[in-house]
Each structure stands twice: as C-alpha cells, then as structure tokens.
Amino acid sequence: MWVIILLKRFAFVFCFLFIIPFTCYGADNSASSAVVIDADTKTILYEKNAYECRSMASTTKIMTALLAIESNMLDNPVVITAEMLDTEGSSLGLNVDDKITLNDLVVGMMMTSGNDSANAVAYFLGKDLKGFAQMMNSKAKEIGMKSTVFVTPSGLDEGEHHSTAYDMALLGAYAVKNETFAKVSAMKSADITISNKKVTVYNHNKLLAMDDNFFGIKTGYTSKAGRCLVSAKKCNGNSLICVTLNAPDDWNDHIRLMNECGKKYKKQTVNAEVKIPVVGSDAEAVSCKYKGEYYALGEVTVKLYYHPFVYAPIKKGDTIGVACVYKNNELIERLPMKADEDLNYAKQERSQTTEVYG
C-alpha cells in the first residue's frame, strides 16, 4: 500500500554566489542621461548621469497607461470632449463626441503616442489635468520615484514636469510586471474601435522589430527633452530595463547597452544526486537526480522537498521529489527529482514444508 506523507524539507541548501562588479561607467552612447537596471532586483547594471533631472517627453505615458490599466475600468466607454482635445503634438485623431473604450485609449496612446488620448484618459480618471497629475505623483511616490514631478499626462513640457533616467527605469520595471501593460507595450500593431469604426494603429518603438527579445515599452520626443526611450528586453530568463534621455542615437544606444549589460548575468548550473530510502525492495535507497541552468547576477539556491521514504516498485524516471530553485530569494522554478534506476519488489524465499504420512 502506498502511504501519503507530507513532503519533508531537505536539510541542505546549495548556494552559488558570484561577486560581480555590476555598474559600469562611461560606455559609449549618445544620451545625456542613461541607465540599465535588472527589472526584478533593481540592480543598476549601467549608469550615466542617471540621477540628473531632465524632461522625459512621452515616456510619461507609461504612467498614464499604468493608471488607466490599474483602474480596472478598461471596458468603460469614454465620450471625447473638447477639453480633452485641447492639446498639441502627436494625435490619435480623436474628435469631439467620439466614443472609445478606456482600453482602446490606452492602446492608441501607447502605439501612436497620441496626446489627445493621454488627455482623454486624464479627464476620464482624474476629472481634470490637475487631478490626474496628483494621481500620477501619488503613484510615483509609491513606486519610489523620488526625483519625479508629473504635470501633464502626455509628457508635453509644462511647469516642473521632469524625472530622471533612474526614476523612469523604476517606473518601467514596475509597469512591465503588469501583464496587461506588458502585452500592450509589446504589440507592434493593434486594431482599436473609435465610434464603431475599426482603426489600425502601429507602434513607434522600432526596437520591437529589430530584436524579438525587446518587449516594450515607450518612445518620446519634445524639443526640450530630445529623443527619450524606455525599453525592456528579455535576456536568458531575466528582464532588463534601459532608459535614455536626450539620446539622438537611441535605437543603437539601447541595443548596445542591453547587449553589454546582458553579459553580466553569469551562467549557473544546479544539479545533485540524492539517495531516498526505499521500503519493500532489496535496495536500501533509490538514487534521484535534478539539474537546471540559470543566468543570474547573484546567488541561486536550491531547497529539496521529498517523502522521507518511498515504496517499491519504482521505475526509472518516476518523480519522487521536487527541487525548488530560488533566485534573489524568489522561487523561479520547480525541478522534478527523478528516479535514476528501476527498483522492484524484494525477492521473498518460499517456505518449504515436509509432508509426513502415517
């Protein structure tokens, strides 16, 4: 009979620690300010004037889109008013009395960088631009953006509207953790509906077409801010966020910076063989193994969980435990601990009897 026993925590923890000089300075790029961080740990992998306050143009719309998504009202219809259209610059092409869902405003804003769509989101959620700016600054404080002041939802320069490369990287790292935001910012094109008319919009972020590992997030430009870009890229299972402010060659800057910083993740292999006691077999224990490969900045640890004993018969390849792999104290994978051999029932000698006839 098989007996179900709660999994027992294995006593040993396997740790692999690498000491890496993460931050680099002075790499060749065109930006006035730049930074690359690990999205999970916020570790700075590269910086150049990362804490210098500057205009950030339409990368501001990352916050506008995020607040719209977090409102849980994406299916709500929005009726466009004249005050929503009182703006300049890039446009989604909205007109007074147009009807569009909040979701399609977000998609249109992220794709075309429409200032009209950003204003529409602001008036819908914040009642007016000032009220929405208060929402933006409250969220910025929650995220840890200590050197940022939001004034406009679109990124048009007004008053003290400014941020830093580092703060915008924190915003980017926070935003891509939201599945809806990540999906929208990674789309190369999308169909939206404005007053029952289908409109196809295209993403201005050329990095999405240049490298499939990029998955967002937002471009920006004003004459004061120059070319601004926040990007996200997958690198061997890790997510990197790169920000450049006032960078004339931003596409190439991001490709070079991401490639350089991706090399800082060191390959780590976790594997071991464990002996687990067996009941009902001639063998005292069964051998099981696990193996995994990861790229990480710091330590990778493994905790093993399995029954204190198992019953025969056992087939090679049977899963009889699990190895939980942690990176930066966060569970990233569960590896099966599989039997490395077949074990049958124990051989039992038949008892022999002698019959006596009388």
Q: Which of the residues are catalytic?
A: 58, 61, 113
Strand 189-194 and strand 197-202: pairing? antiparallel
Residue 36: how many other CB atoms lie within 10 Å: 31
Who's near 286: CB < 8 A, 6+ residues apart? 275, 276, 278, 310, 314, 320, 339, 340, 341, 343
**Residue matched to tokens 């300049």:** 88
What is the C-alpha separation between 109 and 107, in angstroms, rounded? 5
Residue 25: how many other CB atoms lie within 10 Å: 7
Who's near 19: CB < 8 A, 6+ residues apart? none
3-state secondary structure of 127: coil
Closest listed residue to residue 171, CA positions, set 145, 208, 149: 145
Return the structure tokens found at 8. 């027992």
Residue 197: how many other CB atoms lie within 10 Å: 8
Q: Is the C-alpha dihedral spanning 24, 29, 34, 35 positive or negative?
A: negative
Closest listed residue to residue 164, CA positions, set 94, 237, 244: 244
**Residue matched to tokens 């926070």:** 174
Residue 59: how many other CB atoms lie within 10 Å: 26
3-state secondary structure of 245: strand
